A and B are shown apart, each in its own frame.
Chain A
Amino acid sequence: MRAVVVWAHPSPDSFSATVCATAATALRRAGHQVEVLDLYREAFDPVMDREQWRAYRQEETLLDDASRRHADLVLRSEILVFVYPTWWFGLPAMLKGWLERVLGPGVAFDIDAGHGPRGRLGHVRHLVGISTYGSPRLDLLLHGDAGRRTLLRSVRLSCGPRCRSTWLALYDLDRSTAIRRATFLAQIDTSLGRRRPRWTTPLGRRRPRRCPGGTAAISAATETATAVADPSVPSGTAGD
């Protein structure tokens, strides 16, 4: 599948850069064609000006060369990945402005005055948000996670009903240990790097397989397992 990774962070030496590279590598390993949009290095202009706004009112999106390329990529991709640091509980202005200027009417949705916008991103199968937070998770529970809602609810509503969404987050980044950061990268790698990820199975999330014999069979199986582990064969000799 085609994947587009939208990344917004001012510094190419930051942890966010590592996160973005990890996500792109994992997706490539899973066999997807990946394009990374580095909004800061491309010097994307996130401010919607008066002409663009007036066109927006006429239900079209005025695209310049850069934003047209971005819009084309989004319209051809089945996987949308957003990587950004959470500032002020939400998306950085750069990424927020990208949504406003690129995912406008005629691209991401059509305006239906009676019912609100109708999504046009039905081809998007997976929506992935990856963010780092300075605040601990408790603060997000108290203040609400506006960035997550913007992507997994607002943008998600423009995608089709079969679209799956994944959220990967590292909280309390400033006080995180190297181990927590490495675990987070490993989590991204496994989540996006599966050739047939859990979140792509057509019948929804895979459930734990039911044991045909019911609970009795499970307890029998457990007993056998203990019996096998129990015997006087010293452990750590054979296979290790």
Chain B
Amino acid sequence: MQVLLVYAHPDPESFCGRLRDTAVAALEGAGHQVDLLDLYAEGFDPVLGPDEWSKHQVGIAALPELADHARRLGQARALVLVHPTWWGGQPAILKGWLDRVWIEGVAYTLPTGRSRVRPRLHNLRRIVVVTTHGSPHRMNRLQGEPGRLVAMRGVRALAHPLARKRFIAYYGIDRDEPERREAFVGRVARELARL
């Protein structure tokens, strides 16, 4: 299966970097082709500028620098997002990737005069999020986990109607608990191996 793995963390030596390597190894070990998109390494600019905002209706053809990402998204059968959770959600660089790449003509179509979008990413059969939270689980429950909503409902709604989704999250990384971290790495490897 062709897998697009989008990774967003500024430090490759972080725990998230380790999760990315674990995920890639597990997926390749299971015979999948992994297309790694490292937003920080690419220096992706997440800011949707004024030109792009006014050209939003024109579609991706007007934005050649994003066409490559759109093509890779269109080829994938599975989407795996590996990122830390900051302020309850995706880091700005990943949110900006959604803002700029998942636009009309790529992720959905919007018939004229309608306000409800029609999904276009029917190629996506699996959506997996691997993420780490600084605060404990109960704190995140209180905050309502907005990032989980964006991925598990917003992104999921544009994929194939039968697409399966998985939210694999580590809570409380501010506490230093090596055993729990090891256990989580093992869980990520297991879950991604049977994607």
Give the B-binding residues of A (Cβ under 8 A): 10-11, 14, 40, 46-50, 52-54, 87-94, 96-97, 99-100, 103, 111, 113-117, 134-136, 139, 142-147, 149-150, 153-155, 157, 172, 174-175
- Taking the nearest CB of chain B, how far is it from the CB of A62, in angstroms? 12
Q: A88-B102, A149-B144 are in contact. Are A142 and B153 (CB under 8 A)?
A: yes
B142:A96 contact, CB within 8 angstroms? no
B113 contact set on A, CB distance < 8 A: 175
Q: Residues of A contacting B74 with CB < 8 Å?
A: none
Known: A11-B53, A88-B99. A150 touches B89 (CB 8 A): yes
Q: Can you list 12 A-B pairs with a CB-CB distance of less than 8 A? A: A53-B14, A88-B150, A94-B47, A96-B95, A117-B135, A135-B117, A144-B149, A150-B87, A154-B88, A154-B146, A155-B87, A157-B143
Q: How far is the CA of A48 from the CA of B149 in the complex (A)?
A: 23
Q: Does B6 contact A (CB under 8 A)?
A: no
Known contacts A54-B11, A100-B87; is-contact A88 B98 (Cβ 8 Å): yes
Count B interface residues, CB 8 Å: 50
Kindly identify which residue among A53, A92, A99, A175 contacts B87, using a CB–CB cutoff of 8 Å: A99
A135 to chain B: closest residue by CB: B115
Cα-based distance from A91 to B96 in the complex (angstroms) = 10
Contact B99 A115 (CB under 8 A): no
Beyond the given A49-B10, A93-B92, please list 17 additional residue pairs across the A-B interface where CB-CB is below 8 A. A10-B49, A46-B93, A47-B46, A87-B99, A92-B48, A93-B96, A94-B92, A99-B87, A111-B134, A116-B172, A135-B116, A143-B157, A149-B143, A153-B143, A153-B144, A154-B144, A157-B143
- Nearest chain-B residue to A176 (Cβ)? B115
Report if A50-B115 is in contact (Cβ < 8 Å); known contacts: A97-B92, A113-B175, A150-B89: no
B153 touches A144 (CB 8 A): yes
